[in-house]
Structures are given as C-alpha cells and as structure tokens.
Amino acid sequence: MAEYGTQPRMGFFTDTSVCIGCKACEVACKEWNDVPEAGGLDLLGMSYDNTGQLGSNTWRHVAFVEQQKPAVELGMPTVGAPAGEDAEEPGVRWLMSSDVCKHCTHAACLDVCPTGALFRTEFDTVVVQQDICNGCGYCVPACPYGVIEKRESDGRAFKCTLCYDRLGAGLEPACAKACPTDSIQFGELTELRERAAARVDTLHAAGEPAARLYGHDPDDGVGGDGAFFLLLDEPEVYGLPPDPVVTTRDLPAMWKRAALTAASVAGALVVSFWGRRR
C-alpha cells in the first residue's frame, strides 16, 4: 500500500450498485464544508439530477441515468404478460452514482500549482489551501476529470478535501457518514480495493456481468485513484472519461527539450561572440 508520511493512504470506494440517489451525501458535504448553493434549483432535464457536474459549489454530485432497454436484458419480465411475449417490452434501469474528486496518485493539479496552494496531505489526499490560492486557474484545465473549478464569487479554486479536518479528528468524511446504504465507503485504500474486488465477484455470480471497477488500477493513466468506483456500465454512461491520463505526463520531457534548446542557443551565441572578437 502506498503511504505518505506515517499514515496509510485513505480513500473512497463508491459502490454504485447500492446507490439509491437520496443525495444525503450532497447535503452532508455542503453542510459540513459550508459549500454555498450553486445558484438555486436547476432544472437540467437530466432525470432527477439538478447539480449536473462537480464544481466549486458541488463537491459531491449524484448522477441519475435512466436506461430504457428490453425488459429481458434487465432481468425484469413484464408482470402479467404471457410467457415469451415480454422479452421486447421496454424496461427502465436506473443507474445512480455519487461522483467526487478522485484524489489521483499522479495529480496534475499539484504539478501546475505555482503557489503551493494544492498539497498532498499525510493521508495521501489532495487539498486546496484557500488562503494561499491566488486564483490563477492553472489547476482547472489540468484535471483529467474536470473536477476542480474556480468559484465566481472570489476567483479561488475549490474541490473536495475528503473532509481533511474530520480525518485529523479521527472521523470519517461527512458524505460517507451520511450514506444510508454504504454506497460510499471510506477507509484504507488497499483494504477498500480488496473489498471492491470481492463485491464485483459477488455481482458477477448474481448475474450482473457488466459490473466493473473504475479508477482502482495503479497502472492506469493517473496511477490509480484515491476515490474509485464500482460501475454497472461503461464509464462514459456515468460521465466519466474511459481512459483518464495525467495531463502533465509530458512535462519532464518538455522541460528537458527546452533545456537542451536553451543550451544550444546559448552555445551558438558564445561561439558567435568569440568569433566576432577574433
């Protein structure tokens, strides 16, 4: 297990198969962290989703996805239909998922922050210090998940802190505490990954072959996420990128090429200068 300092790495495992869309996590997050409303009730036309996406004023976002498929594909035979006649009857499957900052292993937002406002905590989570943030906004396009955002009211960047203050007091994050179905589980990342793998096996055995983990692989494009998910469909269905990659992965090579170019130019100038003196 990756460790930072003396603490084991902590994180979230979100099991979307048991999410009921109650939004208790959204409310608990806003209340504990004093996150302002995004500007009233938004009627987005996206089922019961009225927040749309993660942002400076939405640190937890519950997505609602309605899928209309033949009932037989969903394991939902039409009640009262003659045998064999319900296979093509439409059925609706609800996919609900509480999204959050992924607290990436290789966090691009950390790489680009010029002031040190973004830092990695002793729990290996990524937090913004608002008193240091200068509002430059470099972190916003750097995030491969589109999580972090500048708040219009003061121009600084905000996102989930994984309730850093609560962790320091030995408490679990507010969203996990409020979740009534244990869809959001908090703990040591290695133990969560083992629990998640067992849960996938259980769902496969129960006839849910599409169940899969997202963000758990340390060899993916961001080195694995500190907040990962069990999904029942492709990531894109939930609004997640299928193959996220740390946006600053090419920075070392770019700086090396820039240094070599600068050295070449400097060398040429020196040769030119000495040639003129002669």
Domain boundaries, the chain: 3-247, 252-278
**pLDDT tens digit sequence for 145-183:** 999 999 988 899 999 999 999 999 999 999 999 999 999
**pLDDT tens digit sequence for 86-114:** 555 667 888 999 999 999 999 999 999 99
Read off the DSSP letter of residue 16.
G
The confidence band for 38, taking pLDDT boundaries of 50, 70 and 90, is low
Q: What rounded mean pLDDT belongs to the chain?
A: 84
Alpha helices in 137-173 (DSSP H): 139-142, 164-168
Expressed in percent and rounded to 5, the helix, strand and coil fractions of the chain are 30, 20, 50
Mean pLDDT value across residues 73-92: 54
- pLDDT of 236 over the 80 cut: yes
Alpha helices in 97-146 (DSSP H): 108-112, 139-142
CB of 120 within 8 A of CB of 154?
A: no
Q: What's the fold here for domain 3-247? A: Alpha-Beta Plaits (3.30.70)
Q: Cα-flanking dihedrals φ and ψ of residue 91, to 5°?
A: -130, 155
